[in-house]
Amino acid sequence: MGLFGPDKITLTLEKYNFKPGDMIKGNIKLNLKKPTKARKMEVSFIGSRREQYRDHSGPHNRSTTRTETVQVFNFTQPLGYEKEYQDESFDFEIKIPSDIIQQTKAPQGQLDGTLGKVVAISAALSGRRVYPIEWKIKAELDIPMKFDVNKSQKIILSEV
């Protein structure tokens, strides 16, 4: 149930825990009050990571913290194109790449040996903090000149 009545979009997944190489299967159900012209209907598999930086350039040389979200992976699959949508259902399948963990490693995680340690130490000393990747599935109906209708669901992607 949405804030002002029934949800306009529902996203349902068969399961919520995945490994590289698995297939994400799900369904998107639209429940719009009236026919609505939209540019497209799509589903995305997204990985994003928060990165936090300490900045010493504030007033009186005080330390400030800045947090930024970096998208490390985005696969978008179209499910429908420009037309009127109202009450429709879309089944989808997205294959998780087998090498997704290697594709999305943090920059300091890509270097081995002494150089990797130097990069990790300099990142720590500069106040940079990298958080684990958060994975989600996002369904979105792109409506021109209005708020898009979307829904997302966090999932867990673990190494084998």
Cα–Cα distance list, 4 to 12, 36, 94 (Å):
21, 18, 31
Highest mean pLDDT of the ranges 2-11, 80-89, 98-107:
80-89
Mean pLDDT score, 17-43? 96
pLDDT tens digits for range 121-135: 655 556 678 889 999
Q: Measured between alpha carbons, how far is 138 from 153 in angstroms, rounded to an integer?
A: 6
Q: How far apart are CA 56 and CA 68, in angstroms?
A: 17
The pTM (predicted TM-score) of the whole model is 0.78
Residue with the larger pLDDT of the pair 151 and 68: 151
What confidence score (pLDDT) does residue 128 get? 74
* Bridge-based pairing state of the strands 17-18 and 149-157: parallel
Contact between 77 and 92 under an 8 Å Cβ cutoff? The reply is yes
In this prediction, residue 52 has a pLDDT band, given cuts at 50, 70 and 90, of confident
pLDDT at 8 over 50: yes
**Residue 63: what residue type?**
S
